[in-house]
Amino acid sequence: MLEKINEFTESHGALKPGSGLITGVIALSLGILCFLGVLAFHFPEYLTTPQLRKSYDVAMIRQLMFWSMVVAGGLSLINVVFNRSRWLSGFAFLLVALSALLGGHKVEVDPNFPDGTLYIGMDWFILDLLGSSLIFIFIEKLFALRRDQPVFRPEWQTDFHHFIVNHMIVGFVLLATNLMVHRFFGWAGNDGLRGWVQGLPFWAGVLLIVLVADLVQYWTHRAYHEVPLLWRLHAVHHSVKSMDWMAGSRQHILELLITRTLVLAPIYVLGFSKEVIDAYIVIVGFQAVFNHCNVSVRLGPLRYLIVTPNFHHWHHSQDDAALDRNYAAHYAFLDYLFGTAVKSDRVWPEQYGVLGDYVPNGFVKQFKFPFTWKGGA
């Protein structure tokens, strides 16, 4: 069973209807999420995010876990009984059974643990994976750009590994970025300026915070392309050859730390309100995924104002006309303002990835790549 599971996770391509693979994958995914959820119930101080703990409706989460276990177990049993992908469904059922043996949705949570514990954001990983996959895979199937591209396209494993690491170490990333922002930029705060920013109407604050963040993002992103040492890191992100909802997760952890620190610095210095920052987090979280999606969306004339998948897909193109172009993450007009917008007669690029294809595939190899690459490609 384990050998077949390993072989399956190393493969790619469309899932054949009627073989039990589709329902088996659904059952396995739910089984994994339930098992991780039970672990989070048992060790909340180490596996959950402090900011999210305060917002949870625990009763609703328990109900969601219960029905997830029911659905996963039911689909697994049906496939086993009718001899459809029994190896996959059998493994899914084992996970559901193990989750139940560990207490399932009835695990009691002890809220008495000290603040400031270094944690792994397993709850954030579960919520983000579940929410992102359900929302963006649905959007991709509804508005597909490349309809023949399967959900499990080539190199999906590498991007999933990046997704896991970059989301599970959220505690470390937040701690590191907050420390760096306060240490290097804490002196720059101005009470008068902060008072003006906090006095802005909500909608004006949101527009401003996105503009401030995107100006920093633009020049930081441009530096990743134009400074050879920084390109070593950013080349990992550009090595993805298929654009979809998971492609944006391919990002070296050092680039993640540097970019988040630089973007958060002016947000901290200007003193935006919590409501405005929360709105920005939603916007950046959506666009970071959506703009990499396999969707045919252009928004008409608004594409000159807002970054869309069409705009960002060109940034990942191997076309000569698109190299080192379209840097903005939110406001497309920044690239038109600074003269770095792509000009092409075609609507969509044909091929993605690093020109020369010199970045290796695989999470571990890509983590080591910036420190081992000799250049010259």
Domain boundaries, the chain: 2-112, 170-372
**Secondary structure (3-state) at 317:** strand
Q: Which of 44-58, 242-256, 322-336, 352-366 has the lowest mean pLDDT?
A: 44-58
Say which DSSP state 144 is in: B
| Cβ-contact 137, 245 below 8 angstroms | yes
pLDDT band at 136, cuts 50/70/90?
very high
Q: How many CA atoms lie within 13 A of 66 on its CB side?
A: 9
Residue type, 290: F
pLDDT band at 335, cuts 50/70/90?
very high
Radius of gyration of the chain (CA): 22
pTM: 0.88
CB atoms within 10 A of CB 302: 10
Burial 112-124 (b: 16+ CB within 10 A, else e): eeeeeeebbbbbb
Quote the mean pLDDT of the chain.
Answer: 89
What is the Cα–Cα distance from 63 to 57, expressed in whole angstroms? 10
Pairwise pLDDT comparison (344 vs 92), residue with the higher score: 92
- Mean pLDDT to the nearest integer, 227-249: 96
Q: Kindly tell me if the per-residue pLDDT of 124 is higher than 90.
A: no
Q: What stretches of 151-294 adopt beta strand conformation (E)?
A: none
The predicted pLDDT at position 74 comes to 97
Q: Which helix (H) or strand (E) holds 114?
A: none
- Mean pLDDT to the nearest integer, 275-281: 91
Q: Kindly tell me if the per-residue pLDDT of 236 is higher than 60.
A: yes
Residue type, 214: D
Q: Which of 150-154, 163-167, 308-312 has the lowest mean pLDDT?
A: 163-167
- Mean pLDDT to the nearest integer, 361-373: 94
In the numeric block, which tokens belong to residue 287? 């666009």
Q: Kindly tell me if the per-residue pLDDT of 172 is higher than 80.
A: no
Q: Kindly tell me if the per-residue pLDDT of 377 is higher than 50.
A: no
Q: Kindly tell me if the per-residue pLDDT of 264 is higher than 50.
A: yes
Pairwise pLDDT comparison (312 vs 374), residue with the higher score: 312
The predicted pLDDT at position 30 comes to 93
